[in-house]
Copies of this chain bind each other. A is one copy, B any other.
Amino acid sequence: MNFIEVIDLLGTIAFAISGALAAFSKKLDPFGIVIIAFVTAAGGGTLRDILIGVEPVSWMRNMNLVYTILLCVVITFFFRKRLLKLRKTLFLFDAIGIGLYTVVGLEMGLTAGLHPLICITLGCITACFGGVLRDILINEIPVIFRKNIYATACILGGGVYFILVELKVPNEIVFPVSAITVIATRILAVVFKLKLPTPYTQQELKKIKVKNKK
């Protein structure tokens, strides 16, 4: 088991628990909970694999991943009352998940010999798409469309990754530093309510607000 596989596993655990918690909070039946946990943990990687052409997609050849997700559902089941009391748990697991998956996506893009900009896009897709599917399936507006420092955190982490690689920093340092950049950016954005600058004038934004109220 190499370094990237360990990171992948930790990301899977974070996302599977995040998905299972979201499904429990919506009172889904056992089958629905497993589906949501699986889609949250494996959805982003599945789209990445399909776009690159890694087929059968990763989870089909990786029974450890499948067992890990099932185990996370069981663990979440027994500890959900304790986990749900901590309101910030779901958010924290989600932030850790996107940090770790961004690095996995970047790495797989590089292995396929793709352009750095495309690798960063793949990092974003790996990190964000599972959560988008989770939110669509439990009938919430996807986090990524509500909070704009989400994918942006992944892009930032991707930038840090390529700067460190350019400086010939060893992988053992590049991986955790990039992942922590994503996680820290996401957490700071939520704590300090940061937003991207808007390209619209105040007048334009007022118009749309008035329109939405009607």
Q: Which residues of A contact B (CB under 8 A)?
A: 26-27, 29-33, 46, 50-53, 55-57, 59-61, 63, 66, 77, 112, 114-115, 117-118, 137, 145, 148, 151-152, 195-200, 204-205, 208
Contacts of A195 in B (CB 8 A): 29
Known interface pairs A27-B204, A145-B32; A60-B55 also in contact (CB < 8 Å): no
Q: Decide: A56 near B46, CB < 8 A? Known: A118-B66, A152-B31, A196-B31.
A: no
Give the number of times this chain occurs in the complex, counting copies.
3
Q: Are B56 and A55 in touch, CB under 8 angstroms?
A: no
CA distance A196 to B46 in the complex (A): 28
Across-interface contacts of A114 in B (CB, < 8 A): 56, 60-61
Which residues does chain B contribute within 8 Å of A66, judged by CB atoms? Answer: 117-118
Complex CA–CA separation, A4 to B52 (angstroms): 23
